[in-house]
Structure 1
């Protein structure tokens, strides 16, 4: 595998985890940028970073940087992605990759025009057990897929000033955790949903606190999702077909999948698939990103992210919820 120079924008908790993954897989972190000089220098020392920048745009334009990793609040993603692509850099951006579908379509078109890899940091795209589940489905062992059910509930402290509830920072459950659930659903649906039914409970700041979402596509497959920022739920996904169903717990970083075969009404059989290590999730991301660059294309992840971005827009439109920058 080719060694690449990664430049990181942001020094928050997920950036710390990614830096560890980069040091392990890639051998080093080449550069990091943060406007907070104290946090920047502390991060660089802890993670053995070669170069530091207080101006992310300067780092993006460093000719030695190959890949830009973005770990900032959602509202900054679009500008950094666009700047990186225009500078000829591949981009790995944390979710939500953009705050709306219009932004997504623009940066995806730019990446295609420039011949660059653009990837959204959703760990479920990279966990090895999903390849096994998809093969089981492709082999017809679950029959025709009819229904996907998926939950994600995160219990955030009550704090209207926190970014999770800040409309100016694209707060709310849909963009913070809904991307995981929607990406899971889209992964196992045959096509992009064209029907959206949904209801929402708003937080006092005007962002979505929790919601129920039903999606349907041309194949009449359904996906049913439940999201919450103020109630913990198991991160559980179920994919059901005419011959059985598969349950995947902790699906963002899943390592096992429980399959129940139901074709025989008298005797249900079960099987457990196991692959990967949840502690290695970001290392899988790094390896896959670098493999995409080596191969000149991804494994279809950006196409799923495209559909997710458009689904999330459709959900927000149904609620009548707009951000100030929409």
Structure 2
């Protein structure tokens, strides 16, 4: 396997998880950057990182770095992605990859022009269970897919000063957790939705606290989503067809899918499909990213992220909500 040098921007909790995955998969981490020197050196020591950079731009231009991993607040992703791509680096950015579809379309075009891989850090894109679910749907055993229902409720502490509720940092439920729900829904719709119906409750800072969203495409398939930052919900997705349905719990890092076959209105049969290990969710991300680079394409993952970004944009436009930057 080719050896890739990763450079990490940011030292928050998700960067800690990714560092553990990188060490497990690759055995080492080339570099990390954070303007906060105390956090930087503590992280580097704890995760056995070879090189440290106070200035992220210096790490981005290091000729020995192959992949830039971005684990900073949403609002900064776009600028870092552009810098990294222009420096000839492949990029793995945490969700939300950018704060608008326009930004994403721009960096996608840039990545393609430079023959570089750009990937978004949605774990559900990489969990092995989803290949099995897609195979099940392709087999026709569920009939025609009619409806996808998906929830994500996170109970954040009441704190108007927290980044989750900061409009200037693109906070709110839609970008923080809604991307997962939207990605799940889009994965199991045959085509991009063209109709968006939604309602929202705003938090006092002006970001979305909770919402309901209905999507419909030209094939009349529906997706129904419920999101909240102040009310816990199960992370549950259901894919329903004319011959049965699939229930997936903890869908961002799922390892199990429960299938119910409903061949008529009175008879049911059941099976359970399993695959993967939720503890290795970020390992799968690392391995897929490196595989994408080796094979020269991303299996359509970035196109899916673009569809999600455009859906999220339409939802925000419907609400009349814009971020301050």
Aligned position for 2:274: 274
For residues 315 and 173 of structure 1, the distance between their equivalents in structure 2, rounded to whole angstroms, comes to 12
1:298 aligns with 2:286: no
For residues 178 and 60 of structure 2, the distance between their equivalents in structure 1, rounded to whole angstroms, comes to 29
1:53 aligns with 2:57: no
Aligned position for 2:11: 11
Q: By how many angstroms is 1:265 displaced?
A: 3.6
Q: By how many angstroms is 1:26 displaced?
A: 1.1
TM-score w.r.t. length of structure 1:
0.99
TM-score w.r.t. length of structure 2:
0.99
SS at match of 1:152: strand
Q: By how many angstroms is 1:31 displaced?
A: 0.2
Aligned position for 2:134: 134
Unaligned runs of 5+ in 1: none
Aligned position for 2:154: 154
Q: Show CA shifts across 1:157-195 (max 9, x none).
A: 000000000000001000000000000000000001010
Aligned position for 2:85: 85
SS at match of 2:29: coil
Aligned position for 2:101: 101
1:198 aligns with 2:228: no
Q: Show CA shifts across 1:104-152 (max 9, x none).
A: 0000000000000000000000000000000000111100000000000
1:253 aligns with 2:253: yes
Aligned position for 1:226: 226
Q: How does 1:17-36 map to 2 (within 5 A)?
A: 17-36=17-36
Q: How does 1:114-133 map to 2 (within 5 A)?
A: 114-133=114-133
Q: By how many angstroms is 1:264 displaced?
A: 3.6
Q: Show CA shifts across 1:54-97 (max 9, x none).
A: 00010000000000000000000000000000000000000000
For residues 111 and 219 of structure 1, the distance between their equivalents in structure 2, rounded to whole angstroms, comes to 32
Q: By how many angstroms is 1:300 displaced?
A: 1.2
For residues 177 and 209 of structure 2, the distance between their equivalents in structure 1, rounded to whole angstroms, comes to 11
Q: By how many angstroms is 1:266 displaced?
A: 3.8
For residues 234 and 245 of structure 2, the distance between their equivalents in structure 1, rounded to whole angstroms, comes to 18
SS at match of 1:78: helix
Aligned position for 1:112: 112
Q: Show CA shifts across 1:228-247 (max 9, x none).
A: 00000000000000000000
Q: Show CA shifts across 1:174-232 (max 9, x none).
A: 00000000000000000010100000000000000000000000111000000000000
For residues 195 and 301 of structure 1, the distance between their equivalents in structure 2, rounded to whole angstroms, comes to 23
Q: Show CA shifts across 1:230-287 (max 9, x none).
A: 0000000000000000000000000000000001444211110000000000000000
Aligned position for 1:62: 62
SS at match of 1:280: helix
Runs of 4+ off more than 6 Å = none
Q: How does 1:163-174 map to 2 (within 5 A)?
A: 163-174=163-174
For residues 266 and 197 of structure 1, the distance between their equivalents in structure 2, rounded to whole angstroms, comes to 33
Aligned position for 1:283: 283
For residues 107 and 174 of structure 1, the distance between their equivalents in structure 2, rounded to whole angstroms, comes to 21
Aligned residue pairs total 325
For residues 100 and 203 of structure 1, the distance between their equivalents in structure 2, rounded to whole angstroms, comes to 20
Q: By how many angstroms is 1:2 displaced?
A: 1.3
Unaligned runs of 5+ in 2: none
